[in-house]
Structure 1
Amino acid sequence: MSGSVDVRRRAILDRLEAHGRVEVGALSAVLGVTEETIRRDLRALELDGLLRRAHGGAVRSDLDTDRHPDLRAAAALADRALTLIDAGSAVFLGGGSACEALAARLAPTPGTVLVTGSVPVALAAALADERAVVHLIGGTADDHGLLTGAWAREQLSGLRLDVAVVEALGVTADGRLLHASPEEAAVVATAVDLAGSAILLVDPETFGAGGLAASVPAGSLATVLLAGDADPGGLEVLLATGVRVETIGVGA
């Protein structure tokens, strides 16, 4: 790692120590590099256990997530989802903060097997319990560490999954889940089709923001877990599909 990279990453850690959270956009402006460079820095620092990435930035690795506003919803969703998954299940986890939080909670469960195309999700499980059984499917990685593409779908298609837990950016007018790319949507669709049941985790911080590509009809899901009592946008459409929607309280 070059000296300039060392200096930049030390600056990120110094700001993180001072403020408890850093934002990708702000770091990009202050340090004079692209947002993609900052995201690479955050991924590298997370792999070293020096921080934990969160939506739009990162928090200290030792930060109490239940007290941090950006992570409270993810923690609440993960806590509830955990109660819906039997021990010893084969569980697919999509990308996102709530899935990362769930991976950390599922990791110590004896007999549970985790399958994911998200590097941050796999890392969250491994950091929570080194004995965790995690299978990271291959593919082409995007800037969020999500592995997609034909290889990922092919590897998934040969697996037996009990539960698929996914996140989404929104919902179409006809009730299909929306994702950032067609590649991500295709992987989600494959996992949900293979699984015995599927759960959608709805974090108002990210849901309702739109999305480029649709995956599965919300009506094909077993449960939608919504953090907080605010309408994130698209809730009415979800309810119209007939899927079971459960609102999860988020502690102050």
Structure 2
Amino acid sequence: MHIRATSRKFMQTMLTSQRKKAILDALKHNGQVLATELSARFGVSEDTVRRDLRELAAEGLLQRVHGGALPASPAIAPFARRQDMESDAKRRIARRAADMIAPGQVVIVDGGTTSALLVRQLPDNLRATIVTHSPSVAVALAEHASVDVVLIGGKLYKHSIVTVGAAAVEAMSHIHADIYFMGVTGVHPTAGLTTGDFEEAHIKRALAARAAETVVLASAAKLNAASAYRIGGIELAQTVIVEDSTDAKLTEPIEKAGITVLRA
């Protein structure tokens, strides 16, 4: 009896691991999975599927949403680790973004590793005003002689090295900017623009409301992915900058939503 029970437990564990692998494969291929469809496919209850999804989400392998799951963004790693991720692609995206800034403009630059690269690409003779809630971005501009820097204060969110909170939101209400360069951890046609922190999502919405144009900086890993907190629908952005090698299947849904996709 003990041998049979052990065998059944082993088979159940094996089947669970197989289901999880199949879920991740389907997620990679289709861009999303639905609990009802997985339940019918595997011949198990929706409760069993939801348990699988919970466990995969706890491992950071997917992002649960109502009714199913989406690919999880890898861009929720700590700031220091993200500095080394996709550095070449981020540098090209940053350079393309910097080229959009015209003399005399007021520009909001978000926090994050791509934004830090962006401000290092600015021409030495550019005269503009950069508004940021990122101390890292502000410090990177400290020696730029002709760029005025407005640093928004508040509580420091250490994951992204940006300020958040009521004081930051109040300070933003006095700004009218030409462009806002937004950093996100996920860009998805239905889940929208997402990030990994509740307060940071609120700050990004507030910044987008203060700019005539919102430009999202998105490496390929962030496309068709989602994080826990929604900044807004994908239509919150007017432009998305991606790396030149990005698969057209990832950008087509964005363009269908009426958003300009620039390749860098």
What is the TM-score when the length of structure 2 is the normalising length?
0.62
Contact kept, 8 Å, 2:188 with 2:234, in 1: the verdict is no
Q: 1:134 matched to which residue of 2?
A: 149
Identical counterparts, % of pairs = 24
CA–CA distance in structure 1, aligned partners of residues 133 and 102 of structure 2: 21
Residues 85 and 196 of structure 1: CA distance in aligned 2, closer, same or farther (over 3 Å): same
Q: Distance in 1 between matches of 2:142 and 2:248?
A: 31
AA partner of residue 167 (structure 2): W
Cα gap change, 1:185/1:140 in structure 2, threshold over 3 Å: closer, same or farther? same
| 1:86-165 alignment, distance < 5 Å | 86-106=102-122, 108-126=124-142, 129=144, 132-143=147-158, 144-165=160-181
- Give the match's secondary structure for 2:220: coil
Which residue does 1:56 correspond to in 2? 82
CA deviation profile, 1:142-166 (whole Å, cap 9, x unmatched): 2231111111111011112111001
What residue in structure 2 maps to residue 83 of structure 1?
A: 99
Where does the alignment leave 5 or more consecutive residues of structure 2 unmatched? 1-77
Aligned partner of residue 158 in structure 1, secondary structure? coil
- 2:188–2:223 CA contact under 8 A, matched in 1: no
Q: Distance in 2 between matches of 1:232 and 1:123?
A: 36
Aligned length: 186
Q: Could you say which structure has the larger radius of gyration?
A: 2
Whole-angstrom distance in 2 between the partners of 1:241 and 1:209: 17
The verdict on how the C-alpha distance between 1:72 and 1:84 changes in structure 2, with shifts beyond 3 A counting, is same
Alpha-carbon shift at residue 238 of structure 1 (Å): 2.5
Assess if the C-alpha contact under 8 Å between 2:191 and 2:226 holds in 1: no
Shift of 1:109: 4.5
| Structure 1: distance between partners of 2:104 and 2:167 | 26
Note the C-alpha offset of 1:246: 1.9
> In structure 2, what is the equivalent of residue 198 of structure 1?
214
Greater mean alpha carbon deviation, residues 161-170 or residues 142-151: 142-151
Q: Does 1:219 align with 2:245?
A: no
Counterpart amino acid of residue 187 in structure 2? V
Give the whole-Å Cα distance in 2 for the aligned partners of 1:228 and 1:220. 23
Q: Give a deviation string over 1:81-129, Cα, whole Å, max 9, x none.
A: 12222111111111122211111223734431111111222222225x2
CA distance in 2, matches of 1:85, 1:111: 10
One-letter identity of the residue aligned with 2:203: V
Runs of at least 5 residues in structure 1 that lack an aligned partner in the other structure: 1-38, 40-52, 59-68
Describe the superposition over 1:56-104 as per-residue Cα deviations: whole angstroms up to 9, x where unpaired.
356xxxxxxxxxx732112111211122221111111111222111112
Could you state the TM-score of these two structures normalised by the residue count of structure 1?
Answer: 0.65
| Equivalent position amino acid for 1:142 in 2 | Y
CA contact (8 A) 1:161 1:194 kept: yes
**How big is the shift at 1:247?**
2.0
